Each structure stands twice: as C-alpha cells, then as structure tokens.
Structure 1
Amino acid sequence: MKIEIWSDFVCPFCYIGKRHLEEALQKFPERDQVEVMFKSFELDPHSPVETDMSIQEILSKKYGTSVDQAKNMTDSMTKQAATVGLDFRFDSSIPTNTFDAHRLTKYAKTKGKEAELTELLLQAHFTLSKHIGDKETLVGLAEQAGLDAEESLAVLNGQEFTRDVRTDEEEARQIGVQGVPFFVINRKYAISGAQPSDVVLSSIQKVWEEENQPASLQPLGTDGMACDENGCDVPPSKS
C-alpha cells in the first residue's frame, strides 16, 4: 500500500496530520506493507525567505484581523498540537519560504532519508524556532538526517530537484488538491485535512480490503483541519 502526502513544512495541520497518520499506522496490522511518500506543496510560493514580521503579524495582515486575534488563532492550533504530543511555539517561529526545504527533501529521498528530514524540518520550524529557509540551517538539518553536508549545500546552491518539486505541485493541481495535508491512498482514495487517527485508520483498512478492486479517487474526509494558500482553518474551540 502506498500513501502519498502533499504537505508544507510551515503548515501546522500537516504536522498534526502526520502524527495522526503515525498513530493510525501503529494500530494497522499490515503497517510493514505501507509505503509513505511525501509530496511538495508550497502554501505561499511568493513568501520571502527573510521577513521582519512575526507569524501573528502575517496572519493579521492576511485575514484583516488584529494581532491579538491572530494570536488567539495560533494559541488554538498550539492546543490542538499538544493533543498529539507536539510542542508548537508560534511566538518564536520564523516565517520563511519553503522551496529550498522541499528541494532538499527531494535530494534526501534519493538517499533514503526523506522521512527523517521531513520530521526534522517540521520540528525545526514549529518547536525549535529554526530558520528553515536559511541554507546553513538546512545543511545542519540534513546532517542530522544522515546526509552529506557538502552534497546538501551543493543542492541548495544550485537548481537541482526544482523540477521534482514543481511536478508534485502540478500533480496536486491536476487531482484537485485545495489544501494540505492531503493524503492519497493507493491512488484510489483521498483524505483531506488532519483527520483524527481513527478516521485515518478506518480509511486505510477500507483501502486495504478493497485494494484489488478498481476504484476512482474519491474523498473519505473533507472537513478535517487543513491549510491552503489563504491560511489555516481553525475550528472553534470547545468549552
């Protein structure tokens, strides 16, 4: 079974959704038969690498709200992340462009280190407040993932793997990806948003049982937490 995930490293629900998938796979008896592949998706391809704005200021400008209201949004996402053991620190996170991070991950894939680098990039941005648009930071993360530093820097200083990233993004448009995370299982079913782990598990089990039956791509969930180019939807908190 193949699970493809379109996501971005600055999408909070992509990290949450990744944890939900991992929780689901832990309960899936045939998990050793599952291959997880990460696909590139940039929430904002025009985002600058360097900015003096905080994430709350960026959200405030995007949604036309006050900075305090934007902070309430990030506080809500922080609480949701905590339910799956993630420590989000929006107050110190560094907004940036993720194109080079995606290219580096494509290089990591050729070395069998895609999963390791993906986790390190998400952790670096959301928990460690590292600048994942900075080449020196990216090389350091690549080394942590077990990649060669000089080769990683060469990738970042050139244009290698640009086509791989663009191909993923074009494919996302072709299959109608509106927001991320977006999971495609065996090219038969799609899960949109950071659905709860039990929903993900049910979907995986359904595909496993039907894998030898032809089926068109059809949604198994469309109302989960997700991010798109306009931002991240935050459901109202429960009292």
Structure 2
Amino acid sequence: MKYAIKIHKILTVDTLPDAWSEKDFKELLDRFDFPNAESTDLNELKELLFMAISDFEPDEAARIVLDYKLSSDLTPGQIDQLSHEMLLDKISEEYPEIHLHQALYNVNQLLFKAYNGKFPNTKATIVDFEIKPLANAPATITKEITVKCFAKNLVKNNVALRLFGHQLNAEEEFEEANDILWELCQTENGHRFITSEYWMEKDEFLAETFEATIQFYQEES
C-alpha cells in the first residue's frame, strides 16, 4: 500500500490542549483540601489548584493526582511507587505500559508547572499533515497507517524504529500504534496527530514531502 504525505507543521509542546477540564480541576481542588471552587474559568481554576498543591510535598501531590487520573489502571502500591519515581525519571516515556503514557504525561506536566520544574519536563509532538492514498491503498487513515508511513521518514536511530521493527515491517501485528499516537484526527487541511516526543522528535523527521509504501500483517493460515 502506498501513500503520499506532506507535512504542514510540526510543533513541540509541553502541555496538551484540553488535557484537563473544569470538572477535573474542581475534583482535584477538593482532593487538595480546597473544596467548592466557584469559578468556571480554567486558568483561574488552574492557578487555584497550583496554590493548593504548594501546601503538599511533591511526592504526596503526585500520589493524589495519580490516584485521581489512574486509580482504575494502577494499584495503590504502583501509584505510591510512581509518585516517587516521577520526581527523578521521565515516567511518561519509560513506563512499560505505553497505553498509560498520555495520562502520565498530563499528570507529569501539571506537576512540573505547579512545582516550577521539580519534576522532569516532558514534551509532546503535534504534526499537521496531508496524506493521499495511491493506487488501491485504503482511504480511511488509521493510527497504524500513519505510524507506518511516518516511520519511513524518520532517522534510523528513532526509538520507535528500534523497538517496533518487526511490527513496522508487517512481521507482527501492530496494536502498539494505537498507543504510540495519542490522538489522530481530521482537520480542515488534512490530518493531525499527537504523540510523545519520545516516539517522534521534531528533529527526527527527514523531509516535508515523501511517499511511503507499507504492508499489513497477515496471519499465516
């Protein structure tokens, strides 16, 4: 299957849009002993939350935010361990369960800003692009198609190429593509995806315009 791709813009960001809602901030304020916040302004609620967080030790604050965000995915023991580890390491890049990376990124960056840099700074990559199916390639653009196409346009030492070579070469199923790309959506001018800088860094892209031939895994009968 062959596709033609044109990259319009690549951004490196330290906060994702809409990562936290009014409901999130008010629930967290309550957990940080600042209940009944009446504002509906997100920036004001965030500033109130940062003030409330400052009364807590960083690892304790991390435990509270992790519990709010990931209690359905992690045990209390795992949350306690991560609350200490994320002060030292980029857990949102290193945690083995990559389907949790986006949530861990959002937690990390909230705490990074609340504590003025006591937590490691992690970043995300946002790419706006056009993709055109050639010949009989599927017209519906999936995360797997997007990752496989962009893998053809990355430097050889890219971490995704090193970790998922068999999947990218269609030797195995590539379910991990759904977690490598945090979001994939259509825009007025094409498509946009969001991923961790860990998987695709701005300087790792080779060309603005390229063609990619990809294959899909087929289980042997």
Question: Same fold, TM exceeding 0.5?
Answer: no
> Computing the radius of gyration over CA atoms, which structure comes out larger, 1 or 2?
2
What TM-score, normalized by structure 1, do the two folds share?
0.22
Query: Quick check: which one's strand share is greater?
Result: 2
Query: Quick check: which one's helix share is greater?
Result: 1
